[in-house]
Amino acid sequence: MNTKQNMTKSDNERQISSEEIKKRAKEIIEAARQNNEDGIDLDAYTLGDINEPEATMHSEADIPDELKESMDKVGIDIKENKSGIYLQTGNKHDLCVSNTPGVELLPIKEALKKYDGTDGKFNLQEYLWKAVPYDKDQYTAEAAIQEITQGYFIYARKGQKTVFPLQSCLFVNLPGMKQVVHNIIIAEEGSELDIITGCSTHKTARKALHLGVSEFYVKKNARVSFTMVHNWADDTNVRPRTGIILEDDAQFSNFYIVMSAVKNLQTNPVIKLVGKNASYYGQTLIYGKGESYFDTGATAHLIGEGSKAEIISRVLAVDGAHVKARGTIIGEGRDVTGHIDCSALILSDRSRVDSIPEIQAKNPEVTLTHEASVGKIADEHIEYLMSRGLSESESINLIVSGFLDVDTSPLPEKLAKETQKIIELVSEAEMG
């Protein structure tokens, strides 16, 4: 156990009791409600059924067709080889199967009971709220209060390398529901984990709220890739809260793909590269349509010497969609490098894209750069393709599909192909 050194100072000073956390969390929520912060009232949504300790399914064979359909929409193919699968509907888990020795996949509630610090086991409580502070905002506070809700725990033991990805899917199935998820992922020294996850609103549950806290702890020389596809409804609010802590030589690749309409989605994973030569590569792909509002980005703290981060976003905006694409890199350690790259295509007169890159150099020994381009497709490009016999709309489609052809080379070869396939499937379904 070596997490203490990575904890933020305030947490380190004293171990806060869960009662104290809940009390403080309630105050945060109350204050947010009084100020009508962020325009989302947590009380307007219900948790639904949470008191079912047993999984509703025992194997993949039990997955109903309706659920399979939703899984397809987020690119999760149960026919693919996998190291494990976790399914959750609302606030209770449906299925949790792990079939790789050395890599554990558990519902978080079960994991907290199992890893309680007794019998030489580590204490999972020590990881709770260390990568994401519980008092960040009303959403993390809500998750801190609702500790009875579910989520997944993924644990890769020292040196364990998964050949196939772990799959996870979270569904919101009832109208007016708030899904409050808390996930913890720990990759011990020298381990490798690939995770493909999808989150989706059922067509019957348009009005919903998804809160997802995900905490990643990637130890020395470990590598984690995380491919996440979101498929929401036009009345769903989404607030993922992600924190990633990377130790010496740890690597993290993050692919985030949202191609459905949403009401309001705001996320900004915070990556702390505390270790020497730790590296982070994050790519976000957003196809904003309808009247969706997106505010997405990532914040990387380059603390360890020689650490590096790349934050890339590709945005397509149609209809009345408004997308804010952010990226912040803070260069604190020596010889760190960071790059932010945002390109956006605006495909309708009503859509809007704001690119907000920020680089902060805290010492002279850093190399931080950013580039951004936002605009419509150049006429010159369309006319060039038309000069090869394509119609105007065929030309636009070809340019757009090229724009979506993201660089998956930071992923292991198998997963790169898988991710490409997911993007193709999702974009075909969403764009026709």
Partner 1 sequence: MSWLRIEKLTVEVEGKRILNDFDLNIDQGEVHVLLGPNGAGKTTLIKSILGFKNYHVVNGHIYFKDQEITHFPINERIQMGIGVLFQHPPAINGLKLSKLLTVCGEKRGNHNGEIQGNNYQQIESSNCSDEFPPYIQSLADRLKFPPDYLNRDVNMGFSGGEVKRSEILQMMVLQPELLLFDEPDSGVDVENVELIAKIMRELLDRDKVPSKQTKSGLIITHLGYILKFLGHITRAHIMMDGTITCSGDPALIIHSIMKNGFEACRECISCVESSSILKEVDFTL
Q: At what angle do helices 379-386 and 392-403 cross, to 10 degrees?
A: 120
Candidate segments 53-61, 125-133, 331-339, 398-406, binder of partner 1 by CB under 8 A: 398-406
Task: Please say whether the beta carbons of 306 and 274 come within 8 A.
Answer: no
Work out whether 392 is an interface residue with partner 1 (CB under 8 A). yes
Candidate segments 34-42, 77-85, 254-262, 372-380, binder of partner 1 by CB under 8 A: 372-380
User: How far is Cα 146 from Cα 229, in angstroms, rounded to an integer?
Assistant: 25
Work out whether 380 is an interface residue with partner 1 (CB under 8 A). yes
Task: Please say whether the beta carbons of 188 and 218 come within 8 A.
Answer: no
Nearest approach in angstroms of CB 312 to partner 1 is 13
Q: Which of 20, 27, 49, 405 binds partner 1 (CB under 8 A)?
A: 405
Work out whether 79 is an interface residue with partner 1 (CB under 8 A). no
Cβ proximity to partner 1: between 98 and 343 the closer is 343
Which structure tokens are listed for 122?
A: 């580590």
Q: How many CA atoms lie within 13 A of 34 on its CB side?
A: 6
Q: Which of residues 248-287 bind partner 1 (CB under 8 A)?
A: none
The CA angle 56-60-61, to the nearest 5 degrees, is 90
Candidate segments 30-38, 165-173, 240-248, 378-386, binder of partner 1 by CB under 8 A: 378-386
Query: 324: closest CA among 348, 350, 352, 300?
Result: 352
Nearest approach in angstroms of CB 386 to partner 1 is 4
Work out whether 413 is an interface residue with partner 1 (CB under 8 A). no
Element (H, E) at 323: strand 322-331
Work out whether 163 is an interface residue with partner 1 (CB under 8 A). no
Nearest approach in angstroms of CB 352 to partner 1 is 21
Which structure tokens are listed for 111?
A: 């994991």
Work out whether 374 is an interface residue with partner 1 (CB under 8 A). no
Nearest approach in angstroms of CB 9 to partner 1 is 43
- Render 339-360 in DSSP notation, one character per residue: EEEEEEEE-STT-EEEEEEEEE
Cβ proximity to partner 1: between 335 and 394 the closer is 394
Work out whether 62 is an interface residue with partner 1 (CB under 8 A). no
Residue 246's Cβ-count burial label (10 Å; 0-12, 13-18, 19+) is buried
Work out whether 39 is an interface residue with partner 1 (CB under 8 A). no
Work out whether 164 is an interface residue with partner 1 (CB under 8 A). no
Work out whether 428 is an interface residue with partner 1 (CB under 8 A). no
Task: Please say whether the beta carbons of 74 and 229 come within 8 A.
Answer: yes
Work out whether 106 is an interface residue with partner 1 (CB under 8 A). no
User: How far is Cα 146 from Cα 138, in angstroms, rounded to an integer?
Assistant: 12
Work out whether 390 is an interface residue with partner 1 (CB under 8 A). yes
Q: Which of 378, 417, 421, 428 binds partner 1 (CB under 8 A)?
A: 378
- Render 71-117 in DSSP notation, one character per residue: HHHTT--TTS--SEEEEEETTEEEEEEE-STTEEEEEHHHHHHH-BS
Nearest approach in angstroms of CB 260 to partner 1 is 21
Letters for 331-360 (x = contact with partner 1 by CB under 8 A, - = none) are ------------x-----------------
Work out whether 403 is an interface residue with partner 1 (CB under 8 A). yes
Task: Please say whether the beta carbons of 208 and 172 come within 8 A.
Answer: yes
Cβ proximity to partner 1: between 69 and 405 the closer is 405
Work out whether 120 is an interface residue with partner 1 (CB under 8 A). no
User: How far is Cα 130 from Cα 139, in angstroms, rounded to an integer?
Assistant: 16
Sign of CA dihedral 47, 49, 55, 60: negative
By CB under 8 A, how many residues form the interface with partner 1?
A: 23
Which residues of this protein are in contact with partner 1, per CB under 8 A? Answer: 343, 378-381, 383-392, 394, 398-399, 401-405
